[in-house]
Amino acid sequence: MRVPSWAGELARYAFLSLLVAWVLVPLAIATIYAFTPLEVYYSDAILPNSLTAEHLRTLWVLGAGEAFVRSVFVGVLTVFLSFLIGLPGGYALSRYVFPGRDAIKLGIIATRMFPIIVISVSLLKTFFALGLNDTLIGLALAHTAMALPFVVLITGSIFGGIPRDVEEAGLVFGLSSIGVFLRVTLPLAAPGLAAAGLFTFLLSWNEVFMASVLTLTNRTLPAFILVSAFATPTEPIRFAAAFLMILPALLFMLFARRYLVTMWAMAAR
């Protein structure tokens, strides 16, 4: 018996629809209920007939605004620091063959074996000694440590995707090694690096364990939400908090989708 061709297509689209729904339905629920008035939410209605920003305002009053700004600050600082340290490392790993190169690569991956929560506790002790406890710089340093392996490996792969002889042409035609890096390598790597940067920002943005352990009054958004919003019994407020958390990631995906594909493609070459 032959299966008609439309049946295959139907099955394919049914599966894809399921997959998309699996991602989109929770997002939609969180977004809709974040703006649903309390009386509607606790009634029998499934969808609201009016929207309200009241829950976001409540979060704001509780301190979500400051937490948001802190998260952005920590995220930006994390990207800056991890690229400052990780970019040269990635370049060296991709371009130079030296003794112990593979061991170093393995070591970098191995650092990810330790659960972040374990590191956070011991870090707190150190941070007390250094006076970095409950500071955003301290948290950014911790996030840098967390993001560094990713930055080294992904930038290494991106640089590895740029042909060596394009750089050598730069050397032959009059540039120094640094000149080649700035005027040939970096422009070619820029799209991939931009995506890696945004990705690193999100790593920091989403990180909640270290943020909760290392800070008390200076909490970033996820840590703030964990202790305040999720402690409230009012569910729409939790949805509003979730919406606040998802928003930057969604915007990022929307704008950087093309670059993300480029980044992974460059890294996979």
- Residue 237 to residue 228: CA distance in whole angstroms: 10
| Least distance to other proteins, CB of residue 189, Å | 10
Out of 92, 188, 194, 246, the only residue in the binding site for other proteins (CB under 8 A) is: 188
Which is closer to other proteins, CB of 91 or CB of 205? Answer: 91
Identify the CA nearest to 72 among candidates 154, 140, 19: 140
Q: How far is the CB of 171 from other proteins (least distance, A)?
A: 5
If one asks whether residue 165 binds other proteins (CB under 8 A), the answer comes out as yes
Q: How far is the CB of 184 from other proteins (least distance, A)?
A: 6
Residue 168 binds to other proteins (criterion: CB under 8 A): yes
**Lookup: tokens for 35:** 């703006």
Q: Please, which residues have CB within 8 angstroms of residue 197's CB and are 6 or more apart in sequence?
A: 79, 83
Residue 59: Cβ within 10 Å count: 26
Tell me which amino acid residue 263 is: M
Q: Does 176 bind other proteins (CB under 8 A)?
A: yes
**At its nearest, how many Å lie between other proteins and the CB of residue 176?**
6
| Residue span binding other proteins (CB under 8 A) among the ranges 40-48, 139-147, 180-188, 224-232 | 180-188
Q: Which is nearer to other proteins, 171 or 226 (CB)?
A: 171
Number of residues that bind other proteins (CB under 8 A): 17
CA-CA-CA-CA torsion sign (126, 131, 135, 137):
negative
Span interacting with other proteins, options 50-58, 182-190, 246-254, 260-268, rule CB under 8 A: 182-190
Kindly write out the interface string for residues 75-104 of this chain, putting x where it contacts other proteins by CB under 8 A and - elsewhere: ------------------------------
Burial of residue 173 (CB within 10 Å: 0-12, 13-18, 19+) is exposed
- Residue 174 binds other proteins (CB under 8 A): yes
CB of 143 to other proteins, least distance (A): 32
Q: How far apart are CA 5 and CA 252, in angstroms?
A: 38
The alpha carbon dihedral of 259, 262, 268, 269 has a sign of negative
Q: CB of 164: closest distance to other proteins in angstroms?
A: 9
Please give the Cα distance from 113 to 60 (Å, whole number). 37
Of 236, 227, 195, nearest to 208 by C-alpha is: 227
169 counts as binding other proteins under rule CB under 8 A: yes
Query: What does the binding site for other proteins look like in residue numbers (CB under 8 A)?
Result: 163, 165-166, 168-177, 179, 184, 187-188
